[in-house]
Structure 1
């Protein structure tokens, strides 16, 4: 890895890390990655989200759709990079026997012949997704491209993880704030202590099959509990809730 590549990589990572949220971090990665490969024609980035994998960012919409189709088909280099091999090299999709259905579509619709897929992870047990680099040229990528791609993927995973973790932290703080406001409103209206007021909201969440945060947000926005509250036995203090109605 030469000094010039190292400098470019540092600049790229700083640019990625400066993005305000994960969607823009992903889009920035799609825009930056081609600069590091001489034969790169397309780039896609896939993310692991709970029990599914999707491709939120790609060079164009059709590539995004075909990249994401790997997970429905259960085959493709990105699918394999996330599930089994951290790096997947494809010399020619037209002849590679590993993913016949998906490979045929990529060749026919976009003319893609070769690719590199790199798992995005910050530790062995934490996979964020995969970076996928495609070319219309068969055997387009060299051993040096693979080495460079590993470095790009490693640095990008750190920036992406930071962006996602920041968003999750901000969301958690917002959730706690909204729930705290709702608990305070129930405490004041029904003369309950904090624990019992929280239990009222939790019971509503269970009865109505609504997330606790959404119950709290509705209460804060409308100053009303669900209309069915007066008909439910929301222990503690069911009589108070029923007698005073649902308006806060």
Structure 2
């Protein structure tokens, strides 16, 4: 599977994952330790967990490069074991962790691998069906949350680009007004003059415009002010 481009502003996404872990843990009758770890350039990074020990177990696998979480991510399929003591796949991990049961559910979004949700338990015999259902639903919900976070990041980028374009246009309009007054020409003719200077000097049109405004007024061009909407209020944490 492909690895995603994680949104720059991921704080809200990770906060939502922590809430999901809290809700899912309460729905699991056998009370496992639960963690969500995301893939990054260094391996796995735990962003939500029900117990501190679960984060340490994730970190152990990330450091050694082996374990059920690593296998789940490598194969893109769930990995489970109800008797780690007798499971030959991760003997070193089993010995160091002291666990007896675990289940790893890959987190995906539109064919992209995000990370893994893991259930850990010191009890043998695996997990109840209700626990497996809660794990699958939580994993699917993580994909939905990621798409929402990615869409929000893209909208933020588009808004920044639009703001920059409007600022640039305002500078060009100021320069056009100066050229029209000095040359007694139409806006189209003034624009063509600016465009020719831009091409001849191989500099951007808005830089040519800024130079004209600065030369005539002695000050940098006045940019319009766009007020950003107030940030959303933080959601209360689910306990």
TM-score (norm 2): 0.59
Gaps of 5+ in 2: 1-10, 177-190, 221-239
- Equivalent residue for 1:159? 144
Residues 114 and 138, structure 1, Cα contact 8 Å, conserved in 2: yes
- CA drift of 1:134 comes to 1.5
Deviation per residue, 1:57-98 (Å, 9 max, x gap): 112344224313423322122222222042111223344332
Measured at CA, do residues 188 and 72 of structure 1 come closer, stay the same or move farther in structure 2, by a change above 3 Å? farther
- Are residue 117 (structure 1) and residue 108 (structure 2) matched? no
Measured at CA, do residues 236 and 157 of structure 1 come closer, stay the same or move farther in structure 2, by a change above 3 Å? same
- Equivalent residue for 1:228? none
Residues 25 and 163, structure 1, Cα contact 8 Å, conserved in 2: no
1:84 to 64, 75, 80: 75
CA distance in 2, matches of 1:39, 1:26: 21
CA distance in 2, matches of 1:169, 1:60: 33
Q: Which structure 2 residues correspond to residues 84-233 of structure 1 after superposition, within 5 A?
A: 84-107=75-98, 112-123=99-110, 125-143=111-129, 145-154=131-140, 156-177=141-162, 179-180=164-165, 183=168
Superposition RMSD in Å: 3.9
CA distance in 2, matches of 1:71, 1:174: 37
Residues 46 and 131, structure 1, Cα contact 8 Å, conserved in 2: yes
CA distance in 1, matches of 2:171, 2:58: 48
CA distance in 1, matches of 2:112, 2:126: 30
Q: Which has the higher contact order (CA 8 A, sep 6+)?
A: 2
**Bigger proportion of residues as helix:** 1
Measured at CA, do residues 183 and 148 of structure 1 come closer, stay the same or move farther in structure 2, by a change above 3 Å? same
CA distance in 1, matches of 2:31, 2:15: 21
Gaps of 5+ in 1: 1-19, 201-233
- Equivalent residue for 1:203? none
Residues 73 and 102, structure 1, Cα contact 8 Å, conserved in 2: no
- Equivalent residue for 2:22? 31
TM-score (norm 1): 0.57
Runs (4+) of structure 1 moved beyond 6 Å? Answer: 188-191, 239-242
Equivalenced residues, count: 185
- CA drift of 1:235 comes to 4.4
CA distance in 2, matches of 1:59, 1:53: 17
- CA drift of 1:133 comes to 1.4
- CA drift of 1:44 comes to 0.4
Higher alpha-carbon Rg = 2
In structure 1, the residue corresponding to 2:84 is in which secondary structure? coil
- Equivalent residue for 2:179? none
